[in-house]
């Protein structure tokens, strides 16, 4: 098989949609799996949709997610990406070739004329499409008018037959040519349309597989006709399933967050988002859900991408993020956690203590944005007792446990975690309580809760004085 070459071709229109990240990821996985190449191409020829900073943002998101690409023009030691806005001459040359080959024609119809044409078609329930008026202008007249009048260039779409997309995911999809518009290739502002620039670039960049979202499927017959008009081979196509809300409507901003940036702000880790997004329309054929990027590269095939829409389940993403919070290296966890604490203004005044707080809450943390809630107990000076905790504190034996505990604590000027172990052993011996009966009242007294962080870790943060204070408080309840 010749080299696998794919591209991710975003239009920089603002934030990065999770669907875009999924497209980037599947292209990346496919390229890496086949030892092929991934090209990043910025499709920025629509001047009306240009958003300042969108490209930089896109590049930042890709690098945050760990998705690197392989080729691009030399930019002083670095390479890429390709920008279509810097390749306008190429598109002009190619449009001219099509005109010369009688595969495309200039169209001089004014916006008003087109508007009234569309209104008539709508009134007669006809498909809204160009009626071909300018197709029939003799070549020499058209040439002359091109120099003098504002115009677009349209493709001559055959009016009969059908155009078939052999999609690697969806199978055979046929489109009737008489329903395909004589699409615009070059706009009156001299910029190419998406269709033209996309096809010319995919050809020149020798793209072997076009992997993109299903919303582009209706454009594909137009692209195939363009390849044919140029006399080029078509690449293979794979259209990825739509992303859906849990109610199976199309995933959109109205129902919740769709931007990768939203998830970054929620404290989702890149490995969690990547893992989650990989499963939007793909599975390995077993029930494994946790994958590293390398495992995904090894396992990924287009054969296992589904046709059916993929439901975006936020709870699953949060669960997955929790999994990664607990499984990344402690050093990295602490580094990210400290950054978040800083950003959220959560500071004990001591870095070591901040780290201890992070260690204590790690088993219960699902996203870093939950830090204020999960760390609240460490920053509060008073305790809120849960009902169940009060029940433990009020048990008959508890008073004795608390008194013994206070007594034992007295002999340790500085209380370490090891000391605390010895203290509790002492209490066990003198009270005869052990296991749950010993630890639950103490936990309830120190934290006000019957579950939560491990006690030795709480101790590390609270220190002897605060613990002593809370035990005394429990004794007097």
Q: How far is the CB of 212 from ligand GLU (least distance, A)?
A: 4
Q: How far is the CB of 20 from ligand GLU (least distance, A)?
A: 7
Considering the complex, state which of residue 25 and residue 361 has its C-beta at the smaller distance from ligand GLU: 25
Q: How far is the CB of 170 from ligand GLU (least distance, A)?
A: 15
Q: Which of 175, 133, 127, 126 is nearest to 152 (CA)?
A: 133
Q: How far is the CB of 281 from ligand GLU (least distance, A)?
A: 16
Considering the complex, state which of residue 43 and residue 167 has its C-beta at the smaller distance from ligand GLU: 43
Strand 243-244 relative to strand 162-167, pairing: unpaired
363 Cβ contact list (under 8 Å, min separation 6): 326, 453
Considering the complex, state which of residue 6 and residue 357 has its C-beta at the smaller distance from ligand GLU: 6
Considering the complex, state which of residue 9 and residue 268 has its C-beta at the smaller distance from ligand GLU: 9
Catalog residues that contact ligand GLU under the rule CB under 6 A. 9-11, 43, 198, 212, 216
Q: How far is the CB of 27 from ligand GLU (least distance, A)?
A: 9
Q: Burial letters for 278-308: b for 16+ Cβ neighbours within 10 Å, e otherwise? A: bbbbbebeeeeeebebeebbebbebeebeee
Considering the complex, state which of residue 62 and residue 471 has its C-beta at the smaller distance from ligand GLU: 62
Q: Which of 267, 262, 200, 210 is nearest to 235 (CA)?
A: 210
Q: How far is the CB of 220 from ligand GLU (least distance, A)?
A: 9
Considering the complex, state which of residue 80 and residue 456 has its C-beta at the smaller distance from ligand GLU: 80
Print the SS3 string covering the chain.
CCCCEEEECCCCCCCCEHHHHHHHHHHHHHHHHCCCEEEEEECCCCHHHCCCCHHHHHHHHHHHHCCCCCECCEECCEECCEEHHHCHHHHHHHHHHHHHCCCEEEECCCHHHHHHHHHHHHHCCCCCCCCCHHHHCCHHHHHHHHHHCCCEEEECCCCCCEEEEEECCCEEEEEEHHHCCCCEEECCCCCECHHHHHHHHHHHCCCCEEEEEHHHHHHHHHHHHHHHHHCCCCCEEEEECCEECCCCCECCHHHCCCEHHHHHHCCCCHHHHHHHHHCCCECCCCCCCCCCHHHHHHHCCHHHECCCCEECCHHHHHHHHHHHHHHCCHHHHHHHHHHHHHHHCCCCCCHHHHHHHHHHHHHHCCCHHHHHHHHHHHHCCCCCCCHHHHHHHCCHHHHHHHHHHHHHHHCCCCCCHHHHHHHHHHHHHHHCCCCHHHHHHHHHHHHCCCCCCCHHHHHHHHHHHHHHHHHHHHHCC
Instruction: Check 120, 253, 434, 472 and give the catalytic one.
Output: 253
Paired tokens of 375 = 């760390």
Q: How far is the CB of 45 from ligand GLU (least distance, A)?
A: 9
Name the one residue in this structure whose structure tokens are 């009626």: 131
Considering the complex, state which of residue 10 and residue 322 has its C-beta at the smaller distance from ligand GLU: 10
Considering the complex, state which of residue 215 and residue 330 has its C-beta at the smaller distance from ligand GLU: 215
Q: How far is the CB of 375 from ligand GLU (least distance, A)?
A: 40
Q: How far is the CB of 28 from ligand GLU (least distance, A)?
A: 14
- 329 a catalytic residue: no
Spatial separation of the C-alpha atoms in residues 283 and 269, rounded to whole Å? 21
Considering the complex, state which of residue 20 and residue 367 has its C-beta at the smaller distance from ligand GLU: 20
Query: Which are the catalytic amino acids?
Result: 253
């Amino acid at each position: 098989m010749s080299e696998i070459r794919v591209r991710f071709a975003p239009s920089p229109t603002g934030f990065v949609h999770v669907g875009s990240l999924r497209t980037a990821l599947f292209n990346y996985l496919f390229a890496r799996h086949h030892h092929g190449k991934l090209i990043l191409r910025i499709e920025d020829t629509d001047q009306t949709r240009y958003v300042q900073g969108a490209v930089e943002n896109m590049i930042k998101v890709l690098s945050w997610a760990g998705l690197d690409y392989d080729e691009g023009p030399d930019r002083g030691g670095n390479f890429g990406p390709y920008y279509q806005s810097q390749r306008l001459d190429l598109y002009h040359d190619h449009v001219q070739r099509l005109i010369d080959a009688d595969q495309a024609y200039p169209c001089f119809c004014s916006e008003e004329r087109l508007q009234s044409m569309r209104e008539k078609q709508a009134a007669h329930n006809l498909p809204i499409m160009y009626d071909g008026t300018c197709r029939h202008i003799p070549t020499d007249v058209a040439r002359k008018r091109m120099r003098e009048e504002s115009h677009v260039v349209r493709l001559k779409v055959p009016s009969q037959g059908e155009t078939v997309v052999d999609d690697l995911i969806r199978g055979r999809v046929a489109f009737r040519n008489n329903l395909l518009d004589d699409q615009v290739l070059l706009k009156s502002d001299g910029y190419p349309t998406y269709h033209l620039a996309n096809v010319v670039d995919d050809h020149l960049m020798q793209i072997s597989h076009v992997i993109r979202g299903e919303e582009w499927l209706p454009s594909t017959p137009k692209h195939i006709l363009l390849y044919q008009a140029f006399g080029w081979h078509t690449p293979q196509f794979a259209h990825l399933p739509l992303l859906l809300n849990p109610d199976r409507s199309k995933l959109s901003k109205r129902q919740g967050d769709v931007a990768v940036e939203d998830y970054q702000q929620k404290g989702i880790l890149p490995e969690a988002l990547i893992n989650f997004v990989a499963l939007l329309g793909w599975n390995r054929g077993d029930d494994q859900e946790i994958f590293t990027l390398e495992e995904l590269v090894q396992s990924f095939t287009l054969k296992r991408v589904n046709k059916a829409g993929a439901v975006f389940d936020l709870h699953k993403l949060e669960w997955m993020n929790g999994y990664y919070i607990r499984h990344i290296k402690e050093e990295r966890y602490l580094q990210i956690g400290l950054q978040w604490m800083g950003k959220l203004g959560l500071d004990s005044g001591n870095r070591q203590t901040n780290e201890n707080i992070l260690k204590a809450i790690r088993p219960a943390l699902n996203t870093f944005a939950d830090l204020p809630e999960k760390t609240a107990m460490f920053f509060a000076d008073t305790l809120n007792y849960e009902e169940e905790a009060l029940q433990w504190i009020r048990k008959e034996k508890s008073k004795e446990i608390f008194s013994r505990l206070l007594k034992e604590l007295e002999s340790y000027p500085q209380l370490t975690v090891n000391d605390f172990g010895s203290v509790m052993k002492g209490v066990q011996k003198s009270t005869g309580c052990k296991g749950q009966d010993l630890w639950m009242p103490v936990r309830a007294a120190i934290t006000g809760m019957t579950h939560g962080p491990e006690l030795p870790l709480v101790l590390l943060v609270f220190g002897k004085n605060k613990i002593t204070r809370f035990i005394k408080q429990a004794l007097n309840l």
